[in-house]
């Protein structure tokens, strides 16, 4: 069997992009996500467009609704292989 090489990163993903991508993959509108989280739709829009910082508490709430770990939202460009968490 051939060895596989990891794919090269082609696009930088912002925090807002990660929220939008996960929301769209789950076929949710901003309004539906707002209903699930209690976060106003206007705030979700501002997060997705990088006008408002996500913050830890919002990341937890959004991650719960989007069924992912908060780190996926907060650190979308984290390269585990080359960066230490400490």
Helix extents (H) in 1-86: 15-25, 30-37, 41-48, 56-66, 70-74
| pTM of the complete model | 0.78
Please, what CATH class does the domain formed by 15-73 belong to? mainly alpha
Q: How far apart are CA 75 and CA 60, in angstroms?
A: 13
What is the pLDDT tens value at each position of the chain, 86 positions in all?
578 777 676 778 899 999 999 999 999 999 999 999 999 999 999 999 999 999 999 999 999 999 999 998 998 777 666 656 55
């Amino acid at each position: 069997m051939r060895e596989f090489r990891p794919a090269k990163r082609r696009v930088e993903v912002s925090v807002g992009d990660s929220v939008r991508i996960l929301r769209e993959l789950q076929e949710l509108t901003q309004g539906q996500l707002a209903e699930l989280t209690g976060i106003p739709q206007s705030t979700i829009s501002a997060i997705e467009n990088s006008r408002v910082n996500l913050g830890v508490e919002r990341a937890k709430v959004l991650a719960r609704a989007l069924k992912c770990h908060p780190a996926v939202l907060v650190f979308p460009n984290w390269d585990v292989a080359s960066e230490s968490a400490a």
